[in-house]
């Protein structure tokens, strides 16, 4: 296997990890007003992802950095052509991060509601736009002989891409509901379990439509296998959730996410960004890659540092593995007023 192929696989793995990990905290953020009926319940939901959400975003940074270093032509065309959607994702992630930090700064309901809205929007926008972006990458976009994107924003908002965006949004919401059920207690856990069951049925319909379209239009024999595994994982998650086994349901949803992303990358290979203008203008693992020397250096760096990162992140999840409920959330500190004078 060529180094270019190895790095294509590694980048796919990074995106699998990102969508699996960031997917559930996007879901928790989107479901904040749906599941959290009181401020304490909403605080409990935020606390389930509080220790890990920023670590989950590291996978996105590494995936972007690896793409820039291993496939600079792919990175340049992707980020110039998808500039507005990627900018919206970045702004949403910034707003979301700020909201997590500032929500508890004042004991005021209006203040909290505004930051809750920021968390909801900051979780919804990336969930939708990542699906739109990846669907467009698989389907192909107008690229000319100079590897420049020649379309516009509305080119990206085609039916296949929009279906992909809606599918990832519901998938992450389902993933987040299962995570909430797994990490909380009491009424909040029961509501999350019930909502996950309903979201799962909607997701099943969307997944059949999106993955079926992907297979019929862009699929191969290998993608048929991965799509089948993704479907079985989703069905298994629904059955486990119905039986109240949130841990298995969450894990099987992870299987679904991993194999859905794997299906998209398999459908893409050996291209990294197909051209809908002319197949000869498509970017591939060969014509978009860095030099062999650069890829060798990157490989050694990955061999050394990736296991360290995985061990550290695994330890973080182990430390914060216990469930939390609204009864574990203390009352907010009283607001001190100046009575002088």
Show pLDDT as tens, one digit a residue, over the chain (341 residues): 789 999 999 999 999 999 999 999 999 999 999 999 898 999 999 999 988 888 899 999 999 999 999 999 999 999 888 999 999 999 999 999 999 999 888 888 899 999 999 999 999 999 999 999 999 999 999 999 988 999 888 899 999 999 999 999 999 999 999 999 999 998 999 999 999 999 999 999 999 999 999 999 998 999 999 999 999 999 999 999 998 899 999 999 999 999 999 999 999 999 999 999 999 999 999 999 999 999 999 999 989 988 888 898 889 888 888 888 877 777 776 554 444 43
CA-based R_g, the chain, Å: 21
Q: Is residue 329 part of a domain?
A: no
Could you tell me if 128 and 78 are in contact, meaning their C-beta atoms sit under 8 angstroms apart?
A: no
Query: Cis ω on the peptide bond leading into residue 4 (within 30° of 0)?
Result: no
Q: Is residue 288 part of a domain?
A: yes
Q: Is residue 326 part of a domain?
A: no
Find where tokens 């500190």 sit.
333
Pairing mode, if any, of strands 283-284 and 271-273? antiparallel
Q: How many domains does the chain have?
A: 1
Could you tell me if 176 and 29 are in contact, meaning their C-beta atoms sit under 8 angstroms apart?
A: yes
CA–CA dist 205, 158 (Å, integer): 19
Record the pTM.
Answer: 0.92
Q: Is residue 331 part of a domain?
A: no
Q: Is residue 111 part of a domain?
A: yes
pLDDT tens-digit map of 107-147: 888 999 999 999 999 999 999 999 999 999 999 999 999 88
Q: Is residue 13 part of a domain?
A: yes
Q: Is residue 86 part of a domain?
A: yes
Q: What is the CATH number of the domain that holds 289?
A: 1.20.1630.10
**Segment (H or E) for 248:** helix 246-268
Could you tell me if 234 and 200 are in contact, meaning their C-beta atoms sit under 8 angstroms apart?
A: yes
Domain around 11: 3-321
């Amino acid at each position: 296997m060529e180094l270019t192929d190895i790095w294509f696989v590694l980048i796919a793995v990074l995106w699998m990890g990102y969508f699996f990990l960031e997917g559930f905290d996007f879901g928790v953020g989107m479901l904040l007003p749906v599941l959290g009926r009181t401020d304490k319940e909403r605080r409990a939901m935020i606390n389930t992802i509080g220790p890990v959400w920023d670590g989950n975003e590291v996978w996105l940074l590494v995936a972007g950095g690896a793409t820039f270093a291993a496939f600079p032509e792919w990175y340049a065309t992707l980020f110039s052509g998808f500039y507005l959607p990627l900018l919206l994702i970045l702004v949403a992630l910034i707003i979301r991060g700020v909201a997590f930090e500032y929500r508890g700064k004042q004991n005021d309901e209006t203040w909290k509601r505004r930051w809750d809205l920021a968390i909801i929007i900051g979780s919804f926008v990336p969930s939708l736009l990542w699906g739109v972006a990846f669907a467009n990458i698989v389907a192909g976009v107008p690229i000319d002989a100079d590897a420049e994107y020649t379309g516009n924003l509305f080119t990206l908002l085609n039916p296949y891409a929009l279906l992909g965006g809606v599918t990832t949004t519901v998938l992450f919401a389902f993933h987040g509901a299962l995570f909430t059920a797994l990490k909380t207690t009491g009424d909040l856990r029961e509501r999350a379990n019930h909502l996950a069951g309903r979201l799962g049925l909607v997701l099943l319909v969307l997944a059949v439509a999106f993955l079926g379209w992907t297979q019929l239009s862009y699929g191969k024999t290998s993608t048929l296998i991965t799509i089948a595994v993704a479907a079985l994982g989703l069905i298994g998650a629904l059955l486990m959730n119905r039986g109240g086994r949130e841990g298995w349901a969450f894990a099987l949803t992870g299987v679904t996410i991993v194999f859905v992303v794997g299906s998209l990358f398999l459908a893409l290979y050996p291209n990294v960004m197909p051209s809908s203008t002319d197949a000869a203008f498509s970017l591939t693992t060969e014509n978009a890659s860095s030099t062999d020397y650069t890829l060798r250096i990157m490989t050694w760096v990955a061999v050394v540092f990736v296991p360290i990162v995985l061990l550290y992140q695994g330890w973080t999840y182990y430390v914060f593995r216990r469930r939390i409920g609204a009864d574990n959330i203390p009352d907010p500190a009283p607001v001190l007023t100046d009575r002088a004078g």
